[in-house]
Amino acid sequence: MEKTLPSIPVKRYFTIGEVGELCGVKPHVLRYWEQEFTQLRPMKRRGNRRYYQHHEVLMIRRIRDLLYDQGFTISGARNKLQELAQNARDSRRAEAVEILVEGVEATDIDQEVWEAASANENTGEQAVLEAKFDASTAATQWQQIRRELIEIRELLSTGF
């Protein structure tokens, strides 16, 4: 029967004893896990007293789940956490690329045509033709950049 853990109170720092109670592990286990998992770095103050922050309590609960409930070894749990962190980084990168790709719109190209036509010193039909040529070249460049960004997004989503 699985023991449910208490909710984490809204506090900035937790002592090692409090974290032990919140996570269902003894303080000596927490000290050992600090050596095994680089993600755990509690702040230390006077007399080497440890103070954990909320995100570290959540990490300890995740480690506890991997070790005690899912049956991972220490090295397996370490690898799983690194894999989860890498997936999160890849997801953020893919989102950033998607935002960039979505930002390349036809309206940007139309704006460039307008700016080029109004900024051009030539007058009349020649200015419009030059502006359209410049915009066409810019549109081609934007399309190439967009294709490259989409390829990058696909590479990131497949994990190479």
Task: Write down the domain spans for the chain.
Answer: 14-71, 91-158
Give me the phi and psi of 158, to 5 degrees please.
-90, -10
Tokens of 63: 């480690």
Question: For residue 52, what are the β-bridge partners?
Answer: 14
Q: What residue has token string 């799983």? A: 80
Task: Tell me the C-alpha distance between 40 and 19, whole Å.
Answer: 12
- Residue type for position 94: A
Task: Tell me the C-alpha distance between 73 and 94, whole Å.
Answer: 31
Strand ranges (E), the chain? 14-15, 43-45, 49-52
Tokens of 33: 């896990």
* CA 36 to mean position of chain CA atoms: 23
What's the pLDDT at 1? Answer: 37
Q: In what order do the strands lie in the sheet with 14-15?
A: 14-15, 49-52, 43-45
* Whole-structure pTM value: 0.58
CATH architecture entry for 14-71: Orthogonal Bundle (1.10)
46-86: per-residue pLDDT in tens?
888 999 999 999 999 999 999 999 999 999 999 999 998 88
pLDDT tens, N- to C-terminus, the chain (160 residues): 356 888 999 999 999 999 999 999 999 999 999 999 998 999 999 888 999 999 999 999 999 999 999 999 999 999 999 998 888 888 887 777 766 666 655 455 555 555 655 555 445 555 555 555 566 677 777 888 888 888 887 777 776 5
